[in-house]
Amino acid sequence: MRASQSVREQQPVNMAGVGFRRWAQLLSERKGSGIPALFPGARAAAGLAKDGLPGSFPKTPEEKAAAAKKYNMRVEDYEPYPDNGEGFGDYPKLPDKSQQERDPWYQWDHPDLRRNWGEPMHWDFDMYIRNRVDTTPSPVQWSSACKQLFGFIGGALFLLYLGELFPSYHPVGPKQYPYNNLYLEKGGDPEKQPEEEVKNYEI
């Protein structure tokens, strides 16, 4: 029992996978003290050595080869971002293609991301997931699509403008009122007969 537990302590234990009981057991056997002792193995890069992390821009061919090996790429394929102080370091410059472009029928390790385990990730990977930016080719040529859309919108706007310049309505005349053009309602004298019968029609 003792031997197996000490062997377990030496391996980096991922806290998400280990139950609370085991954590308590580990705690009781551990010799450290303070907050770092509460989370054994929770280092910045548990399982990955310091030189497995991204470093600074590679200047010599040996550094380039070492960086390519670190990122699991061929030396000929590995191309770092240009060294202009924008903070990329030796991270590889991968082609700007979205994940939607990858083969949907291949057996990826992570099918929703269309990515295999250990494959170098694009700097903008979170932008190129299938829910977001898509670089797949458009079904119609871009110039043709632009012409169709803006041609339609432009034509419609032009016709509307012409309609504003040359409006046309149904023919209307002034409103006609009964009872001698509302003689009594407009305050005319009830005793007096109006001068002439108002006729608003023609037969």
Residues that bind another protein (CB under 8 A): 13-14, 16-18, 44-48, 52-54, 56-57, 70-74, 76-77, 84-89, 91, 96-97, 101, 109, 116-121, 123, 125, 135-138, 141-143
| Comparison of 26 and 180: residue with beta carbon closer to another protein | 26
Instruction: Work out how close the CB of 13 gets to another protein at its nearest, in angstroms, rounded to a whole number.
Output: 6
Instruction: Work out how close the CB of 11 gets to another protein at its nearest, in angstroms, rounded to a whole number.
Output: 9
| Comparison of 91 and 180: residue with beta carbon closer to another protein | 91
Residues 6+ apart with CB under 8 A from 23: 15
Task: Say if residues 84 and 57 touch (Cβ distance below 8 Å).
Answer: no
| Comparison of 118 and 190: residue with beta carbon closer to another protein | 118
78 token code pair: 């590995």
State the DSSP code for 139: S
8 forms beta bridges with: none
In order of 61, 92, 197, the CA distances from 95 in angstroms are: 22, 10, 91
| Comparison of 34 and 139: residue with beta carbon closer to another protein | 139
